[in-house]
Amino acid sequence: GESVGLHLPTLSVQEGDNSIINCAYSNSASDYFIWYKQESGKGPQFIIDIRSNMDKRQGQRVTVLLNKTVKHLSLQIAATQPGDSAVYFCAEYSMEYGNKLVFGAGTILRVKS
Amino acid sequence: EPEVTQTPSHQVTQMGQEVILRCVPISNHLYFYWYRQILGQKVEFLVSFYNNEISEKSEIFDDQFSVERPDGSNFTLKIRSTKLEDSAMYFCASRLPPGQSLYSPLHFGNGTRLTVT
């Protein structure tokens, strides 16, 4: 069925440390993945995406890793800052799902100063 | 940077009343979406819209829901007879059509908080 899940609902990190947020997806046919950040009272904000023909993609302070063998996606945030505190969602896209993104449950990231 | 805008930011309505949530997608985008998020839960797909018709809809999107693109800029979600369980954040999103990259991300507005009393 349609299922994108996150194992850790809350992650607390110290300012300046690196953060790793994990996501397990269930549909092996998914071929496009996106990480979104959602701050309180706002809509999901695009962070980074990756196609299934890649296993790593880097942005500014963020890296997404894709392991298709175990259907696992991760978001790495370098030098985490207080402004990174938010809920992070992974979302997957598959032609099987039609013209929509399917969101995971979300992980709360708390950055301690 | 262009963005998706939604109005109103907060809508309070009584059970059984009709509501219309409004969205202005990014101007050169061609796919439009509505998602909803019940407090503390994940973002759920409602409906996608392309070329002036619904392309996908979820089980949530029953006969009480409808979407419309009344002109070249607005995209609306109507709930005909609201229920208590319709209380949620409703997000509009849009994206470019698949081009050379085939896939493009959805860009979301900041949502309308719907409270049904």
For residue B70, whether the previous peptide bond is cis, meaning omega lies within 30 degrees of 0, is: no
pLDDT score recorded for residue B102: 61
Q: Which residues from B are below 8 Å from A104, CB to CB?
A: 42
**Contacts (Cβ under 8 Å, ≥6 apart) of A40:** A86
Position A26 pLDDT exceeds 70: yes
Interface of A with B in 51-80 (CB under 8 A): 51
Q: Note the pLDDT tens digit of each residue in A50-99.
A: 999 999 999 999 999 999 999 999 999 999 999 999 999 999 998 777 77
| pLDDT computed for residue A5 by the predictor | 46
CA pseudo-torsion sign A3, B21, B19, B39: positive
Q: Are A1 and A96 in contact (CB under 8 A)?
A: no
Q: Is the pLDDT of residue A23 over 50?
A: yes
**Integer-rounded Cα radius of gyration of chain B:** 14
Residue A58: predicted pLDDT: 97
Tell me: pLDDT of A24 over 50. yes
Quick check: B55 and A41 CB within 8 A? no
CB-based contacts of B115, cutoff 8 Å, min separation 6: B10, B11, B12, B13, B87
Neighbours of A68 (CB within 10 A): 15
pLDDT greater at residue A100 or residue B90? B90
If chain B, 117 residues long, is cut into consecutive pieces of 10 residues, what is the mean pLDDT of each piece?
A: 92 98 93 92 93 93 95 94 97 82 85 98
Yes or no, beta carbons of B105 and A34 under 8 Å apart: yes
* Average pLDDT value for chain A: 90
Q: What is the dihedral of CA B22, B83, A1, B108, to 10 degrees?
A: 20
The nearest alpha carbon in chain B to A99 belongs to B56
- Tokens representing B66 are 């409808």
Residues 34-93 of B with CB under 8 A from A: 35, 41-45, 48, 50, 55-56, 91, 93
3-state secondary structure A30-49: CCEEEEEEECCCCCCEEEEE
- Look at A107 and A95; give whichever has higher pLDDT: A107
pLDDT given for residue B101 in this prediction? 55
Q: How many contacts, defined by CB atoms under 8 Å, are there between A and B?
A: 54
pLDDT of res. A81: 97
Of A41, A89, A99, which has the smallest distance from its Cβ to B43's Cβ? A89
Biggest CA–CA distance in chain B, Å, is: 47
Q: Is the pLDDT of residue A2 over 90?
A: no
Contact present, B26 and B94 (Cβ < 8 Å):
yes
> For position B39, what pLDDT does the model report?
84
Distance CA(A70)–CA(A55), nearest Å, equals 12
Whether residue B48 and residue A44 make contact (CB cut-off 8 A), yes or no, is no
* Residue A1 token pair: 């069925």
Token pair listed for B113: 């908080």
Per-residue pLDDT at B28: 86
Rounded (10°) CA dihedral A100, B60, B49, A106: -40
